[in-house]
A and B are shown apart, each in its own frame.
Chain A
Amino acid sequence: MPETQSDKIPVTVLTGYLGAGKTTLLNRILSEPHGKKYAVVVNEFGEIGIDNDLVVGADEEVFEMNNGCICCTVRGDLIRIIDGLLRRKGDFDGIIVETTGLADPAPVAQTFFVDEIVGAKTSLDAVVTVADAKWLKERLKDAPEAKNQIAFADVILLNKTDLVTDTELKDVEMRIRAINPFARIHRTQRSDIAIDKVLGQGAFDLDRITAIDPDFLEGGHRHFHDEDMKSVSFASDKPLDPDKFFPWIQELTQREGPNILRSKGILAFKDDPDRFVFQGVHMILDGDHQRPWRADEAKTSRIVFIGRHLDEKALEEGFLSCTA
């Protein structure tokens, strides 16, 4: 019997460069009186100041799947840990996976799509990245990991805002937007934030892809760019031909998978009354019919890529050639 989204245990991935305030956020989540219990997968024991018998140590063992794709890496330890935690189903309401400061979030996210059992029993809720308002700009220059964490995020806590001026803060926000224009940014001090802004985001839930950030799509297709990481977005008012679109996106993500960190789209296919939504992590794509287009809604297809060395012109031409 297929399990509905709500039966699945939500998993939040918590990333952030060293010293940004990840552990502080984690301690906050665990100590606030929200009446929920979380199982926590950590890399360092002892940093968590909360007594929780569901804190599990992980080894961050990343390995490639033997499926011929170099970007299809998963966290083997996480598969085993979640198998184990599932034995205690009912003891907790959600799982939080804390990664090390130097970790790439992709293998963690991909684990939830690649492993059948993990994918059937849990659902990735969101990638939450804690960023240091004072030091992020420097890290974006010298640490590719920090850039990956920003590019990958659904929610960004721009933390330690008390240590920077307003101008510096706006500047660092612009830098974040340049890499990832569709994450929700929250300004915080000492990682102080309402829990419902971090957990229960449904960022990977196809049913909750309502719109691709309108701010991002101002002026048709506007793009922001960092030196090498950028996001691009395209829109088409002409309906797409599924027989053209699917081969194109599959070939593209197979070939450019290592460079494309995330992708998302809302699509209108010819002779199809339903919105088709998809989202992807590197080469792994997840898509489905969502709901019928409403009468008051423009049937516009929109697609977004966040990645490195994206050939914007080729992507746009490829996308527009998928029209029916």
Chain B
Amino acid sequence: MAALSSTPSSITSKLTPIDLGDPVVGVRFLGSVAAFALGGGKIVLAGEEERRLDAHGGAILSVDGDRRRLVTGGDDGRVVETAGDGSSRVLFEQKGRWIDQVAAGPDGSVAFSAGRTAYFRPAKGDPKTLDLPSTVGGLAFAPKGTRLAIAHYGGATLWFPNAQAKPESLEWKGSHRGILWHPDGRFIVTTMQEAALHGWRLPDGAHMRMSGYPSRVKSMAFTAGGRFLATSGSSEAVLWPFGSKEGPMGKQPTMLAPRDVRVSCVGAHPKDEVIACGYDDGMVLLVRISDGAEILARSPSGGAVSALAWRADGGALAIGTEDGAGGLIVL
């Protein structure tokens, strides 16, 4: 991102606001189209033109996606897959249940959860289910292969849905919510109900405790190459070093972009060591990790930033807030 250093310290003039009208649960880029999933059940596709789709008959509870599709789970019991051209299909429906978590997997597969049950649906072949000891707090596919990490109370479970092997348990007391794999598959990190993260180093099962936050961590992302885990929850972006094989144990995190309001959301640039950092007051900064240089992408306004996504080539950023404001920046 050499171009960033020569650009002025504010790029707010490049921000195209989008009035979404409902809290933004998540956003992804489907090619060049930014797809916003909204609390009220709608999906807004912002590309050459803007399209609004009624995806769910209630709230959208969780969002994931890849370059081709947005996967959403709702309190209407449906899992819906939406493409950038606006076409969509219902992958699963069970009335009376909430789809709490969704994850987009390799080769068009998806995983989702309702209560204590995790589901895996390959693009072709038989769906699989796994019952967990408690409600699923988070789902994430491994960076390679069809393997799922499932966060729940008391730890996490690693599941190969296509294999007979017994799922592997990673234990740590407490309620685990979000879950993320390191890009090289070596570490798993969860956000906890407490203001802390927990991690496991998979080769030896070593624990990694990352604490000291003033509030619950709601958002985390590995930076390009996986050298840092950027996290929300504090009044600066907290980045844990994951560049070595040992992980962050015994090392201090890097703190960037300090302010007097808390970071509510982080988004990692797909190619460079740059993060987008959203705050409780609606402001968004782009921050270069090497020197902490900041560029203002959105001025403080309205509610907390609740969703951030970079286009796959790193050339655009989509922003969504809790009070229904959206924005698109093409760099």
CB atoms of B58 and A88 under 8 A apart: yes
- Per-position contact with B for A85-100: 1 when CB-CB < 8 Å, else 0? 1011100000000000
The answer for the CA separation of A66 and B59 in the assembled complex, in Å, is 31
**B75 with A61: CB separation less than 8 A:** no
Min C-beta distance of B44 to chain A, whole Å:
15
CB pair A77 B135 closer than 8 Å: yes
Q: How far is the CB of B242 from chain A (nearest CB, A)?
A: 23
**Residue among B97, B134, B175, B216 facing the most chain A CB atoms (10 A cut-off):** B175
Query: Which B residues between 123 and 138 are near A, CB-CB below 8 angstroms?
Result: 134-135, 137
Q: Are B96 and A63 in contact (CB under 8 A)?
A: no
A84 B61 Cβ-Cβ under 8 A: yes
A271 interface residue, CB < 8 Å from B?
Answer: no
Which A residues are in CB contact (< 8 Å) with B65? none
A66 to B153, CA, bound (A): 12
B193:A79 contact, CB within 8 angstroms: yes
> Which of these binds chain B: A51-59, A101-109, A230-238, A243-251?
A51-59
| Complex partner residue of B40 from A53, A56, A66, A88, CB under 8 angstroms | A88
Contact A88 B193, beta carbon cutoff 8 Å: no
- Give the CA-CA distance A63 to B97 in the complex, in Å: 22
- C-alpha gap A85/B98 in the complex (Å): 11
The answer on a CB contact under 8 Å between B175 and A59 is no
* A77 partner residues in chain B, CB cutoff 8 A: 135
User: Does A66 contact B115, Cβ atoms closer than 8 Å?
Assistant: no
In the bound complex, do residue B134 and residue A59 qualify as a contact, i.e. CB atoms below 8 Å apart?
yes
B:56-88 near A, CB below 8 Å: 58-61, 75
**B248 beta carbon closer than 8 Å to chain A:** no
- A182-B195 Cα distance, complex, nearest whole Å: 36
| Complex CA–CA separation, A67 to B60 (angstroms) | 32
A59 in contact with B194 given A66-B174, A84-B59 (CB within 8 Å): no
B23 at the interface (CB under 8 A from A): yes
A65 to B196 CA separation, bound complex (whole angstroms): 12
CA distance A65 to B116 in the complex (A): 20
Q: Is the CB of A63 within 8 A of B174?
A: yes
The residues of B that contact A67 with a CB separation of less than 8 Å are 194
Q: How far is the CA of A183 from the CA of B59 in the complex (A)?
A: 37
B100 within 8 A of A: yes
A115 touches B193 (CB 8 A): yes
Task: Tell me the complex Cα distance, A198–B313, Å.
Answer: 57
Decide yes or no whether B39 CB sits under 8 A from chain A: yes
Cβ-defined contact, B100 with A63, below 8 A: no
Question: Which A residues are CB-close (under 8 A) to B196?
Answer: 66
Among candidates B59, B135, B192, residue contacting A87 with C-beta atoms closer than 8 Å: B59
Tell me the smallest distance from the CB of B185 to a CB of chain A, in Å.
27
Q: For the complex, is A117 an interface residue (Cβ under 8 Å from B)?
A: yes
Determine if A76 and B25 form an interchain contact, defined as CB atoms under 8 angstroms apart.
no
**With A and B bound together, what is the CA distance between A278 and B41 in angstroms?**
40
**Interface of B, helix, strand, loop or mixed by DSSP:** loop
Asked whether, in the complex, the Cβ of A65 is within 8 Å of the Cβ of B193, the reply is yes
Q: Which residues of A contact B25 (CB under 8 A)?
A: 87
Contacts A61-B153, A65-B194, A66-B174 given; does A76 touch B59 at CB 8 Å? no
Closest to A45 in B: B96
A66 to B75, CA, bound (A): 30
Contact B174 A116 (CB under 8 A): no
Contacts of A197 in B (CB 8 A): none
- Give the shortest distance, in Å, between B286 (CB) and chain A (any CB): 26
Query: Does the CB pair B135–A59 fall under 8 Å?
Result: yes
**Contact indicator A76/B153 (Cβ below 8 Å):** yes
Chain A positions within 8 Å of B40 at CB level: 87-88
A198 to chain B, nearest CB (A): 26
Please tell me if the beta carbons of A80 and B100 are within 8 angstroms of each other in the complex.
yes
Once bound together, how far apart are the Cα atoms of A117 and B58, in whole Å?
21
Partner of B61, one of A65, A66, A79, A87: A87
Cβ contacts under 8 Å, A59 to chain B? 115-116, 134-135
What chain B residues lie within 8 Å of A80 (beta carbons)? 100, 135, 137
B215 interface hit (Cβ, 8 Å): yes
Residues of B within 8 Å of A115, CB to CB, are 193, 216
Q: Collect the chain B residues with CB atoms within 8 Å of residue A79's CB.
A: 193
Question: Quick check: is B144 within 8 A (CB to CB) of the other chain?
Answer: no
Contacts of B215 in A (CB 8 A): 116
Q: How distant is the Cα of A116 from the Cα of B280 in the complex, in angstroms? A: 14
Q: How far is the CA of A115 from the CA of B174 in the complex (A)?
A: 14
Complex-state Cα separation, A74 to B39, whole angstroms: 25
Does any Cβ of A come within 8 Å of B245's Cβ?
no
Q: Is the CB of B153 within 8 A of A88?
A: no
Q: Are A63 and B175 in contact (CB-based, < 8 A)?
A: yes
How far does the alpha carbon of A84 sit from the alpha carbon of B260 in the complex, in Å? 28
For residue A39, give the distance in angstroms from its CB to the closest CB of chain B: 10
Please tell me if the beta carbons of B153 and A87 are within 8 angstroms of each other in the complex.
Answer: no
| A61:B216 contact, CB within 8 angstroms | no
Q: Contacts A53-B58, A76-B135, A80-B137 given: A87-B175 contact, CB under 8 Å?
A: no
A61 contacts across to B, CB distance below 8 A = 134-135, 153
Q: Is the CB of A66 within 8 A of B173?
A: yes
Expressed in whole angstroms, the minimum distance between the Cβ of B38 and any Cβ of chain A is 9
For window 171-190 of chain B, which residues contact chain A by CB distance below 8 Å? 173-175
CA distance A222 to B173 in the complex (A): 43
Q: In the complex, what residues of A have CB within 8 A of residue B60's CB?
A: 87
CB-defined A-B contacts under 8 Å, sample of 7 = A57-B96, A63-B174, A66-B173, A76-B134, A80-B135, A88-B75, A115-B193
Known contacts A67-B194, A80-B135, A87-B23; 12 further A-B pairs (Cβ under 8 A): A56-B75, A56-B98, A57-B97, A63-B175, A65-B174, A65-B193, A65-B194, A66-B174, A76-B175, A80-B137, A85-B59, A87-B60
